[in-house]
Amino acid sequence: MTRHLALVEEVLERFFSLSTQRAATLAPAYEALWKTLRSNTAGGKRFRPQMVMTAYTALGGSDLRSAAHVGASFELLHTALIVHDDVVDRDFVRRGIPNVSGSYRDVAQTAGLSLPTAEHRGMSVAVIAGDLALTGSFRLMERASANPEVRDALVELLDRAVFDSAAGELIDVDFSLYSGMPSIEEIVHMERLKTAVYSFEAPLQAGALLAGATHDVIAALGEFGRNIGIAYQIVDDLLGVFGNEASTGKTTLGDLREGKRTALIAFASQTSEWSSISQLVGDSELSAEDAATVREVLERTGAKKFTQRLASDYADEAVAALHGAGIPQQLIEQLTPLVTAVVERVR
Amino acid sequence: MTRHLALVEEVLERFFSLSTQRAATLAPAYEALWKTLRSNTAGGKRFRPQMVMTAYTALGGSDLRSAAHVGASFELLHTALIVHDDVVDRDFVRRGIPNVSGSYRDVAQTAGLSLPTAEHRGMSVAVIAGDLALTGSFRLMERASANPEVRDALVELLDRAVFDSAAGELIDVDFSLYSGMPSIEEIVHMERLKTAVYSFEAPLQAGALLAGATHDVIAALGEFGRNIGIAYQIVDDLLGVFGNEASTGKTTLGDLREGKRTALIAFASQTSEWSSISQLVGDSELSAEDAATVREVLERTGAKKFTQRLASDYADEAVAALHGAGIPQQLIEQLTPLVTAVVERVR
């Protein structure tokens, strides 16, 4: 896999090199923006390219350069979506370092602009940067295959991924703004659209499609991706409250302070003890002590257990989807550890 | 031309109908967003599709459905760019009615959210909506031709249009934030990138390319488009200060209050009388009386005359580009009135 991902890096490197050179002919500031976008694309786990390459090679694909273009396309889509998501969430930091908005906010503040003006500049540049990454994602996908039919189908998959992610993002914005509590089904639906489609479902299907897999195999991989993607998000939400900060690199206060709508919280809101913590969930100044109280209630009411069970049910669905559609044993063996890794993260 | 534009409308209608139907299967709020995006795409002058269709038909193209896809693609690109530009400029109104940000801000305010929160919601939804329009633009372009080489070249043109517009937008953001005065050349460069490429240059070239025009003709149309696009923007900036509000539908105080960097203002800043108005330009509470003073100075120093001359020089360059490259007389005759219209707007 390392060798396959190195090919993805090569495609991304060439894309950024050419774009940066072209940008330099237009304006120094534009060259700088491309460099920022490049560094915001570096350092990821390349999770989506891995999904593409795994499906592609296990299904007999041998044109690794083509597959690497598909992988790189999904990686750029990921960059586009997180850069714009950070604008929506007014986040200026990601993985502990300034994101696009943060970098440009900081430069503007150093140049003497007020914080609100500097923040708006950061967000403005991030809107532009996300557009460039999104455009790049389509460009790379179009270059993935010389076969017009395959290319059309790949671009169609990418299009659907953008379409579904946008729906998920919109529903998520609505959740965070209105005071009502969405149902568990609504939350799972949102998480599927916002993340599972473009991170699991579409990359696996794209790899299979490029490898010339049958309709049944492609459909089954979609089903697998959807379910494991949902399981992944549910586990992520659990880790956001019960995780080990040292291993997740993410504070376990953030989601509670934000009042993030998750399956965990939606379940708790239906229990008799909810009134004892409802004021704490969403309190932007929640103390570590109060957070401990919330966690106790989430355990006592069974919300934690329910959510763990929900994640493992989706993981089971994912595994079930792998069987019976003619997916080769080799691919099943490569995807099964992924399922274990997703579920094990929270145990 | 009316019949040709009706075909463009058909393509747009079908795109929006299908997308809205698909959105309805995901969430009512998403269906509503697509309806908002559709109404934000309606009512434009369809200027870019006109450029495409004019070049295409005058150069002998006969597959009007294909050309209509190219035209619709540029129209959606226009929607994407203005929706995101409105986020960058914090504008909530366009052509006198709420834009995407404005519609969603208003709904959020009515639902009881504070103004800053409602504004941020409006802008968040506009970020998502612009991404959808941008994606749609690529989708329609990909469907424009069954010939893989032609399609590649068309998508390449669209890609360059996005790339250049993003550069122009970035430079413009920088202009508005830092106190220095850019040079006239820098302003013209920015306006070319931000508007001329995607509004004139690329649509004309795309129409020509689809019609199978020679390299020379495509290059000459690019040259024409670049120059007439720059002339158009310079005239637009003049109208922003000296225009007739009744006919332009645009206040002549806005640009002055914003302190917009234009060739007009950059020229004036180099004259001895600049100090008498430099405090007024960019004064967000500029009165009608003070604006009249600014206009007087802009006339007396020759800034207005210089700028009019600059626009007509670019228009002359545009006309010159039409000759000698083998552009058919019919197309020259169709484009010449455009030149006149651009220059006459300000006389």
Q: What is the CA radius of gyration of chain A?
A: 21
Inform me whether the pLDDT recorded for B164 exceeds 70.
yes
Of B124, B134, B166, nearest to A173 by CB-CB distance is B124
**Nearest 5°: phi and psi at A300?**
-60, -40
Mean pLDDT, residues A131-149: 95
Percent of all residues in chain B with a pLDDT value above 90, rounded to a whole number? 85
Test A163 with B87 for CB contact under 8 angstroms: no
Q: A34 to chain B: nearest residue by CA?
A: B167
Q: Report the C-alpha dihedral over residues B153, B158, B161, B166, rounded to 10 degrees.
A: -130
Is some CB atom of chain A closer than 8 A to the CB atom of B288?
no
Q: Among the residues of chain B, which ranges form H helices?
A: 2-24, 28-41, 47-58, 64-88, 100-110, 115-142, 148-177, 184-191, 202-210, 215-242, 245-248, 254-258, 263-268, 274-277, 288-300, 303-321, 329-344
Is some CB atom of chain A closer than 8 A to the CB atom of B234?
no
CA distances from A13 to A7, A21, A34, B77, B147 (A): 10, 12, 12, 27, 29
Q: B105 to chain A: nearest residue by CA?
A: A177
Test B121 with A148 for CB contact under 8 angstroms: no
Inform me whether the pLDDT recorded for A251 exceeds 80.
no
Inform me whether the pLDDT recorded for A328 exceeds 70.
yes
Chain A residues with CB-CB distance to B178 below 8 A: 111
Test B84 with A127 for CB contact under 8 angstroms: yes
> What's the mean per-residue pLDDT of chain A?
94
Chain A residues with CB-CB distance to B130 below 8 A: 127, 131
pLDDT of amino acid A343: 80
Strand partners, A94: A97
Test B128 with A164 for CB contact under 8 angstroms: no
pLDDT of amino acid A296: 96
Inform me whether the pLDDT recorded for A158 exceeds 80.
yes
Test B170 with A111 for CB contact under 8 angstroms: no
- B92-117 pLDDT per residue, tens: 998 788 999 999 999 999 989 999 99
Helices (H) and strands (E) in chain A, counts: 17, 2
Q: B194 to chain A: nearest residue by CA?
A: A26
Test A127 with B87 for CB contact under 8 angstroms: yes
Percent of all residues in chain A with a pLDDT value above 90, rounded to a whole number? 85
Mean pLDDT, residues A142-151: 91
Q: What is the CA radius of gyration of chain B?
A: 21
pLDDT of amino acid A56: 97
Chain A residues with CB-CB distance to B163 below 8 A: 19, 22-23, 132, 135
pLDDT of amino acid A97: 87
Is some CB atom of chain B closer than 8 A to the CB atom of A171?
yes
pLDDT of amino acid A2: 84
What SS3 state is found at B96? coil
**Nearest 5°: phi and psi at B120?**
-65, -40
Inform me whether the pLDDT recorded for A346 exceeds 80.
no
Inform me whether the pLDDT recorded for A64 exceeds 60.
yes
Chain A residues with CB-CB distance to B77 below 8 A: none
CB atoms within 10 A of CB B273: 14
Domains present along chain B, CATH in parentheses = 1-155 (1.10.600.10)
Cβ neighbors of B189 (< 8 A, separation 6 or more) are: A27, B171
pLDDT of amino acid A342: 82
Can you give B178-242 as a three-state secondary structure string?
Answer: CCCCCCHHHHHHHHHHHHHHHHHHHHHHHHHHHCCCCHHHHHHHHHHHHHHHHHHHHHHHHHHHH
Strand partners, A98: A93
Chain B residues with CB-CB distance to A29 below 8 A: 170-171, 174
Is some CB atom of chain A closer than 8 A to the CB atom of B108?
yes
Is some CB atom of chain B closer than 8 A to the CB atom of A177?
yes
Test B124 with A87 for CB contact under 8 angstroms: yes
Percent of all residues in chain A with a pLDDT value above 70, rounded to a whole number? 98
Interface of B with A in 135-154 (CB under 8 A): 135, 138-139, 142, 146, 148, 152
Angstroms from A305 CA to nearest CA on chain B: 29
Chain B residues with CB-CB distance to A155 below 8 A: 138-139, 142
| Single-letter residue type at B212 | G
Tokens representing residue A185 in the block: 């089904």
Test B131 with A131 for CB contact under 8 angstroms: yes
Mean pLDDT, residues B182-200: 97
Judged by average pLDDT, the poorest of A242-256, A322-336, B192-206, B211-225 is A242-256
Inform me whether the pLDDT recorded for A250 exceeds 90.
no
pLDDT of amino acid B6: 95
Q: How many CA atoms lie within 13 A of B258 on its CB side?
A: 19
Which of B170, B177, B226 to mutate against chain A (most A CBs within 10 Å)? B170
What SS3 state is found at B341? helix
Is some CB atom of chain A closer than 8 A to the CB atom of B166?
yes
User: What one-character DSSP code corresponds to residue A287?
Assistant: -
Interface of A with B in 78-97 (CB under 8 A): 80, 84, 87-88, 90
pLDDT of amino acid B254: 86
Inform me whether the pLDDT recorded for A347 exceeds 60.
no
Mean pLDDT, residues B288-303: 95
Is some CB atom of chain A closer than 8 A to the CB atom of B134?
yes
pLDDT of amino acid B347: 52
pLDDT of amino acid A344: 80
Q: A193 to chain B: nearest residue by CA?
A: B26
- A209-219 pLDDT per residue, tens: 999 999 999 99
Chain B residues with CB-CB distance to A167 below 8 A: 23, 26-27, 30
Chain B residues with CB-CB distance to A76 below 8 A: none
pLDDT band at B249 (very low <50, low <70, confident <90, very high): low
pLDDT band at A183 (very low <50, low <70, confident <90, very high): very high
Test B162 with A127 for CB contact under 8 angstroms: no
Is some CB atom of chain A closer than 8 A to the CB atom of B111?
yes
Is some CB atom of chain A closer than 8 A to the CB atom of B164?
yes
Higher local confidence (pLDDT), A344 or A117:
A117
Which of B76, B110, B177 to mutate against chain A (most A CBs within 10 Å)? B177
Inform me whether the pLDDT recorded for B275 exceeds 90.
yes
Judged by average pLDDT, the poorest of A29-38, A160-169, A327-336, B335-344 is B335-344
Q: Kindly provide the ipTM of the predicted complex, given to two decimals.
A: 0.94
Test A128 with B88 for CB contact under 8 angstroms: yes
| Single-letter residue type at B118 | A
Q: A26 to chain B: nearest residue by CA?
A: B167
> What's the mean per-residue pLDDT of chain B?
94
Inform me whether the pLDDT recorded for B294 exceeds 90.
yes
